[in-house]
Amino acid sequence: MNLQVFSSKYSQLAMDNAVFPKIVYPERGIIYDRKGRAILNNAIMFDLMVTPVEVKNFDTLAFCKLMEVDTADFVKRIRDAVFKNGRMRPSAFQSLLTPQLQARFEENSWRFPGFALVERPVRVYPYNVAAHLLGYVSEVDKGDIERSSNFYRMGDYIGKNGLESHYEKVLMGQRGVKYMIKDNHNRLVGQYENGIFDTAAIAGRGLRTTIDVDLQTLAENMMANKVGAVVAIDPKTGGILAMASGPIFNPNELTGPDKGKNYSRMLLDVANPFLNRAIQGRYEPGSTFKPLGALIALDEGLITPSFGYPCPGYYIGCGIGKPKCLHSGGGHSANLRNAIAFSCNSYFTHMYRLAADNPQYGGVKKGYMKWREYLNGFGWGNRLGVDLPSEDRGFIPDTSVYNKEYRGSWSSCTNLTLGIGQDKMGVTPLQMANAMCVIANKGYYYTPHFVKSIDDPQPEDTAFLNPYKIRHEVLTHIPEENYKAVMDGMEDVVTNGTARIVRIPNIAICAKTGTAEKFTILDGKKIKLDDNAMFVCFAPKDDPKIAIAVAVENAGYGGTWGGPIARVLMEKYLNDTISKASMADYERISNTNKMPKHLKRLQFKTDSIRARQWFELRKDSSYIRKYISTTVSPFNDNSLPLQPAAPVRPYSSQTWLAVLPDNRNTYSTQPVARNRA
């Protein structure tokens, strides 16, 4: 009998037009840094919800004027709500109202039946950093709903990138509902049946991360107006202390009422600020690879730490006089330690050829695949498994690549620059930092990760956390003296070599600098750009607490840019302070714009093409002529050939409308505001 009464009440509830089911969205879980500081939190805003069946008998023009909505857009939104969620269920008409629009509607809600305000917890980023790591949330689309087997509903929000996406099930919480009574003026006046049918929302659970927000802020400030990435890891745990990708952007740009406009602007930016280059950018490691090449040769028994190679300033083994070396004196390649310290190209080219031509494998192709197997063991050419979506595996070519290019006829001379981290080798900065962990730990690493624990632990959390507790043995069997030779050579790079700028008093640092050539295709021609600056290190030498990789595109020498960036981070982390000299470098780097020059030219070309398409769509030739003459024509970069823009695949009108004409002069190459440490 009680069940029947209860069921009849629910039936009455469903039929009662005076009852409004007010969805209560849960607060998503808070994300904390390693010291317990909230780096991603919640604030309350309001969505304007519409129940289409109830929209009748009110002044549409007055509503559109009040809420700053075009009448055609009003009709479209109502139709979309019906199509996506039906006529009887509330849908989001306008998300994340500004305080002004919220106040206007509250004063006039009685005039507009079918519309109601619903609280929406939104994400806020108190430190304005870590956009690529934390990710963002957005309203679910049809695909999200289908993939969740209709668990999500229109109006729900879901993590779209970063930790927000990877830990969605932990952070999301559970939605609730309050049944409210409406009066004849469409105002909510109280709870229905004293709330006996209400369901409380359950907040999401928090994440405790390894991120150090101080290091993260420093890293992002130094990557302002640059393309590249910085990664810092604790070698003993695999916990990622900082990860910055340039161009940087403020994560608060992807929350609040301006989110859509900001998203569209950045989406069409040729510098691709959404790309997390720390895990998705591929770079030739250059000379930063040499310590790994040394470990391979040592493990294979091809050399000993005392092995020397006669280098006259270039490699003579293949008869082409390449690659060249910066040094020609015999001492710089007299043994492994010196070869690392002075970065002898001939020495490491010869080591690669010894490995590829190792007779025990019966030919160069099998020898090469064995050499490649070592790199895969370091995590190169494979996804490491970091707790972020869309990690790139990098690229270490297998024999099929060379067989196809050279029709099966190739030797170790064909790809000899692999020995110095070039040719077709491509790795992510995360993989480079992880390789430093292998050396620092003398042969093992833990999978790099951000989250160390989850609040209110549940049994299912082990699926998230256990993979990061596994110790990956790579080269733990190599004798201690072999690691000592490699680490001594890397220490000499700092004390006497190309990374002297990295020195910190009373801290022994192991490092390796590198440069890698960079090319691009512009106007149908291959253009040589400035070299990429590469840098890797770990410290202290005998008790490593931090390993760092830095890649700055088109910046030149690794020691000039990557080294000082790493020194600032090491000094802050190890000493909890920054010296006067390091602070001067920090200010210099943070205030220097190293955005590649060709990007500005490319942005102008891209915008001009898009503008022409947008205006031709509306048959406004006078405006497009004015735009081309005033905005595009005056631009000229004498360092690059100026040719007519090649045709591109047409964009949808929705994409054009998102950024033009209001944002046509907004480029990533303009200086951006820095976060203050």
Q: What is the pLDDT of residues 210-238, one digit of tens each?
A: 999 999 999 999 999 999 999 999 999 99
Give pLDDT, residue 156. Answer: 84
Q: What is the pLDDT of residues 555-594, one digit of tens each?
A: 877 678 999 999 999 999 999 999 999 999 999 999 999 9
259: closest CA among 50, 89, 47?
47
Q: Which two tokens stand for residue 531?
A: 């070299």
Helix (H, G, I), strand (E, B) or coil at 366: helix
Q: Would the CA dihedral through 147, 152, 156, 162 be positive or negative?
A: negative
Burial 48-82 (b: 16+ CB within 10 A, else e): bbbbbebbeeeeeeebbebbebeeeebeebbeebb
Distance CA 292, CA 285 (A): 11
Question: What are the strands of the beta sheet with 546-552, ordered from one edge?
Answer: 240-246, 228-233, 546-552, 525-539, 510-522
DSSP secondary structure string, 436-451? HHHHHTTSEEE--BSE
Name the H helices within 591-642: 597-617, 621-627
pLDDT band (50, 70, 90) for residue 399: very high
Q: Which two tokens stand for residue 79?
A: 């139709």
Q: What is the pLDDT of residues 89-135, one digit of tens each?
A: 788 888 888 888 989 998 888 888 889 888 877 899 999 999 999 99
Higher-pLDDT residue of 665 and 521 is 521
Please count the residues of the chain. 677
- DSSP H/E element including 243: strand 240-246
Distance CA 479, CA 477 (A): 6
pLDDT band (50, 70, 90) for residue 549: very high
The whole-number average pLDDT for the span 49-68 is: 87
Q: Which amino acid is at 61?
A: L
In angstroms, how far is CA 552 from the centroid of its own chain? 15
Report the range out of 180-184, 455-459, 517-521, 642-646 with the highest average pLDDT. 455-459
The whole-number average pLDDT for the span 285-306 is: 95
Distance CA 345, CA 450 (A): 36
Higher-pLDDT residue of 53 and 291 is 291
Whole-prediction pTM: 0.82
In angstroms, how far is CA 108 from the centroid of its own chain? 43
The whole-number average pLDDT for the span 322-350 is: 88
- Name the percent of the chain lying above pLDDT 90: 54
Q: Out of 64-68, 125-129, 541-545, 636-640, which region has the weakest mean confidence (pLDDT)?
A: 636-640
**What pairing do the DSSP bridges indicate for beta strands 207-209 and 31-32?**
parallel
Burial 504-515 (b: 16+ CB within 10 A, else e): beebbbbbbbbb
Q: Map out the domains of the chain with their CATH numbers.
A: 16-208 (3.90.1310.10), 280-590 (3.40.710.10), 598-659 (no CATH)
What burial class does residue 397 get, using C-beta atoms within 10 Å of its C-beta: 0-12 exposed, 13-18 middle, 19+ buried? middle
The whole-number average pLDDT for the span 35-55 is: 90
Average pLDDT, the chain: 85
Distance CA 40, CA 24 (A): 21
241: closest CA among 548, 4, 538, 497?
548
Q: What is the pLDDT of residues 444-475, one digit of tens each?
A: 999 999 999 999 999 999 999 999 999 999 98
Strand-pairing partners, residue 537, are 511, 548
Give the position of tokens 């690059």. 640
Q: Which amino acid is at 176?
A: G
Helix (H, G, I), strand (E, B) or coil at 539: strand
Whether residue 113 is preceded by a cis peptide bond, meaning omega within 30 degrees of 0, is: no
Q: Which two tokens stand for residue 351?
A: 């080591």
Q: Which two tokens stand for residue 539?
A: 């410290």
Give pLDDT, residue 643. Answer: 38
Q: Out of 144-158, 452-466, 540-554, 645-659, which region has the weakest mean confidence (pLDDT)?
A: 645-659
- Name the percent of the chain lying above pLDDT 70: 86
